[in-house]
Structure 1
């Protein structure tokens, strides 16, 4: 096991992710299952990796990432407009509904229904945390663990 987090470390952590107003957005404590972050593989933002560098097992830290360093800024191009007939099979959804949509390449993407009017349904394909600064409360459990954790990709 390595003594501190380095540029290519695998890091087993517990974290809580909070929004500006203190609302908890995600927590590994709730499930009791720590997350495994892999530095240097491109899955984490450079800013998140920078906050992890040099930490040691047992260390706790709290830091805030701005939207561009976390889940990105909101992209207006990811707002899409549909006709009610596009939902003939499922029925017209209510605003706030999260649905899976099939992309042209066959992959599935979640979208949040933002607005439903008589002739238009607005769906937002931005990440739900896009545009928000997020605060991490993070504890390093192990560095380069041998087995057994769930890979996670917050702020990636």
Structure 2
């Protein structure tokens, strides 16, 4: 039977949870997740976890924070002046916002703290610093093409 390897396009069902048992994501009730192994579309630990699986295989993969979304970085906390918020906006702790950088790229942030004249925004990934556990079921493997087109 075909084993999943770098370059293969695969489809998997998964259930992701934290060490506490809390579910953070699942493909239950949705189409399986489709991606190419080794193409950088998935966190490193997930990519590595599916290698060697065959269609029908099920396994549990534990991924440390460094192989998932990395550690929380203090440098990803941004203090933003309140007077730069829209006048009708009252930021609250836990509120999710979009921030754009000098190149116009947008990225999600969460209000971490509201001070008198500023707001501290957290640009860390919500799962940064967390060890993740995935139950994975291999549904389909499309092998990497060995033919090179001119």
Q: TM-score, normalised by structure 2?
A: 0.88
- Secondary structure of 1:50's match? helix
| More moved, 37-46 vs 76-85 | 37-46
**Which deviations, in whole Å up to 9, do the C-alpha atoms of 1:58-110 show, x marking residues without a partner?**
11110110001001111111100011111134513111000011111011110
Alignment check: 8 A CA contact 2:71 2:128 kept: yes
- Secondary structure of 1:29's match? coil
1:89 and 1:10 mapped to 2: Cα distance?
Answer: 48
> Which of 81, 96, 99 pairs up with 1:101?
99
Aligned residue for 1:15? Answer: 14
Aligned residue for 2:82? Answer: 84
**Which deviations, in whole Å up to 9, do the C-alpha atoms of 1:41-62 show, x marking residues without a partner?**
1233443322211101111110
Aligned residue for 1:61? Answer: 59
Q: Which of 1 and 2 has greater Rg?
A: 2
Aligned residue for 1:49? Answer: 47
Alignment check: 8 A CA contact 1:84 1:92 kept: no
Aligned residue for 1:70? Answer: 68
Aligned residue for 1:148? Answer: none
- After TM superposition, the structure 1 = structure 2 runs for residues 109-128 of structure 1, keeping only pairs within 5 Å, are 109-128=107-126
2:116 and 2:41 mapped to 1: Cα distance?
Answer: 41
Alignment check: 8 A CA contact 2:6 2:36 kept: no
In structure 1, the gaps of 5 or more residues are: 146-156
**Which deviations, in whole Å up to 9, do the C-alpha atoms of 1:98-154 show, x marking residues without a partner?**
001111101111001011121221100010000000000111100018xxxxxxxxx
CA root-mean-square deviation: 1.6
Aligned residue for 1:154? Answer: none
Alignment check: 8 A CA contact 1:80 1:122 kept: yes
Aligned residue for 1:151? Answer: none
